[in-house]
């Protein structure tokens, strides 16, 4: 699990806090529904063991969060894919896909507020090993 504090931030994100909400780390950040297309977070996690991983964004059931948040998965070698995340998904099992990754820093995950209307909440990302 990687917190928003572990991401490289572009733009001025606003710290948020909601009592009783489950969060990664001490809090989360949001775009304050401003500066659309100018804010992003980029995680480049260290993969400890080569293998297959499933990527999940921590989700928010906040009523003001968005249903179409772009998240781009970029693999070493230039392959990338942009997916739309529903931040209102309450099941907690929304997956961004399964990827076979070598050990090291071979993947970049970028969340952006481009093309969104309303608040974009950023809290973290999770990579779960599969089959171990």
Residues 3-18: tens digit of each pLDDT: 999 999 999 999 986 6
Contacts of residue 63, defined as CB under 8 A and 6 or more positions apart, other chains included, come to: 88
CA–CA separation, 101 vs 30, rounded Å?
29
By the 8 A CB rule, do 18 and 62 touch?
yes
Output the domain CATH number for residue 28: 2.60.120.260
Count of structural domains within the chain? 1
Helix (H, G, I), strand (E, B) or coil at 69: strand
Average pLDDT across the chain, whole number = 84
pLDDT at 38: 97
Domain of residue 124: give its range.
2-129
């Amino acid at each position: 699990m990687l917190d928003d504090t572990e991401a490289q931030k572009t733009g001025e994100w606003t710290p948020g806090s909601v009592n009783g909400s489950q969060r990664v780390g001490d809090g989360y950040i949001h775009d304050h529904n401003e500066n659309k297309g100018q804010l992003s977070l980029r995680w480049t996690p260290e993969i400890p063991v080569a293998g297959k991983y499933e990527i999940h964004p921590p989700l928010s059931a906040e009523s003001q969060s968005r249903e179409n948040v772009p998240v781009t998965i970029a693999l070493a070698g230039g392959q990338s894919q942009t997916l739309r995340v529903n931040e209102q998904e309450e099941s907690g099992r929304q997956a961004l896909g399964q990827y076979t990754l070598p050990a090291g820093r071979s993947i970049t995950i970028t969340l952006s507020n481009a093309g969104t209307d309303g608040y974009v909440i950023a809290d973290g990302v999770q990579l779960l090993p599969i089959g171990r």
